[in-house]
Amino acid sequence: MALNTAQAEILSRLSREQLLEFIDVLQKNWWNLQNNWMAYMSREYREEAALRGDSHCFGANAKVQVHRFKRMFALKDDLPSVMDALALSTIFANGEYEMWKIDPTRFRLRVTNCLQQVRRVEDGLGELACKPAGMAICEAAASTINPATRVTCVVCPPDAHPAGLWCEWEFELAR
C-alpha cells in the first residue's frame, strides 16, 4: 500500500461520508493540476503542442488507472467492467456525465457538463479541441479491460454540439 503511516492513521479515523468527500477532493485536485498544466502548455508551447501532450498523457494515465482498478476490483473483460472502470476513474470526474447500455454489446457515455470547458469559455479562451485526447483516453481505458472494444466518438469539441452536451462516446465489444 502506498499510504504512509500518517495518512493511514488519519484516513482510518474518517467516516464513510468523510472518505467519500476526501475522494472527491482528490479528484478535484487531480483535475486542477491537469487544467493548470494544459493552460501553461498552451501559453508556452501553443495549443497544438499542448493537445498532443494532453492526448499522450491522458491516454497513458487512463491505461494505468484502469489497469489498477481491473486488479483491485477483479474486473472481467465484459461491457459492465468497462463501464465500472470508467465510473471509478478520474477520467470523466471533471463534470457530469451519463452512461447507459444500448444493448448487450454497446454503451454510451455522454458528458453533459464539462467544468474545464465551461471555465475556458468563461475565461474567454474558447473551447478546447479535446477530441484527440478524449479518443486516446477512451481507447486506452477500454482496451485495458478488453482489447476488442471499439470506441467511436459521436461528438466532441472541436465538433459543433448542442448546449448541455460536450462530448459523447460509444463503446462496443466485438462479438
* Residue that is written with C-alpha cell 454510451 in the block: 108
Amino acid at 130: C
Q: pLDDT (tens digit, 9 = 90+) per residue, 50-64?
A: 999 999 999 999 999
pLDDT-derived band of residue 1, with 50, 70 and 90 as boundaries?
low
Check residue 18 and give its pLDDT.
97
Closest C-alpha among 86, 115, 121, 90 to residue 100: 86
- pLDDT for residue 20: 95
With a CB cutoff of 8 Å and minimum separation 6, the contacts of 150 are 171, 172, 173, 174
- pLDDT at residue 175 greater than cutoff 80: no
Helix, coil or strand: residue 154:
strand
**Interval 82-109: pLDDT, tens:** 999 999 999 999 899 999 999 999 999 9
Give the long-range contacts of residues 8-16, CB within 8 A, separation 24 or more.
Answer: none
